[in-house]
Amino acid sequence: MSPQFDASPPGTPDARPIDSDAAQLCAVPTGADVGASCSNDGDCGSGPDEFCLGAADSWPSAGYCTRVCSNDAQCGPTASCSDPIGAAGTRVCFTNCCGLSDCGRSGMVCSEALAGSPVGFRACLPGDTSAGDGDPCTSFADCAPSSACSDNPFASPGGYCVTIDCTFADDSTCAPAGDGVCVDSDPFVGAPGICLDRCTSAGDCRTGDGYTCQIVGIGVSACLYTHADIGDACGSDAACGDPPWECVEDDGFPNGYCGATGCTAAPDTCPEDSFCAMVGGETYCIEPCTPGPVSCRFIEGYECADFGSGFFGCIDLDEL
């Protein structure tokens, strides 16, 4: 078992260059304007495209009134239209700002980034300027403006604030409030740099959540959560990691299988880079694979099985 950090939080928006020509109008939102708090769409304006960003959108519970847009004129005099956000490339209105006092709401900061990705101008967005890399979090609002919250319980129990797209070997590009260290998240695929919580001993880490001080480079260590990989062989739950990790030893999983039972379609009920599937009337977290004779633990009888809808996973069909 080796130290690991899964640093691509689900829903992280696509990065885009900042538009330096965007209007910078500094005015605190009032009433149902863009940027006002909300609990449902009815709390926002009456236009057909008005809606409330909330928990269903992986947004903090205080909500944020906005509307879909294609240009700044559609956002009103105190807001601008963002760069495309997320896999769908949606553009929405965010309130303009020039400084922290312009946002007029607790939990809001004047930032050019949403969960670590640029929006194209300085905007009032959820964030915490006092948070450092590695701090606990439940959403990106608990982290620094240029950070995201990695909150999959199998990879980062209690949440872990992480600066995305830092400059490798330049720790000044990490969250200002902490002592983060910028490392290559995956140099083999050209992934962006990420900032981890620097440490010199276990006492520097959140040991109660299972984090330990691990070497991440020459003379550099960081707080990481140690766990096995999905689908690894195991003889006990502890061999896979702390709960919710399980060592599954049911039919179809000879010699143990690191994962979990009772999963659902929700992304945090399985380890990242796995999927939930029904096997023999029970749901399990399954290791994905590419069809082929040696893509799974073939010596132990595992094969890359077709679960339908384009999902292939490692399982021993002879045991079912």
Rounded to the nearest integer, the mean pLDDT of the chain is 85
The average pLDDT across 117-129 equals 89
| pLDDT tens, residue by residue, 236-245 | 999 999 999 9
Tens of pLDDT, residue by residue over 77-117, are 889 999 998 777 889 999 998 866 668 777 888 888 887 77
Predicted pLDDT of residue 27: 56
Peptide bond into 244 cis (omega under 30): yes
Show me where the domains of the chain are located: 1-126, 130-226, 237-319
Q: Residue 184 pLDDT > 90, yes or no?
A: no
Distance separating alpha carbons of residues 96 and 111, to the nearest angstrom: 9
pLDDT at 175 > cutoff 80:
yes
Report the predicted TM-score, pTM, of the whole model to 2 decimal places: 0.80
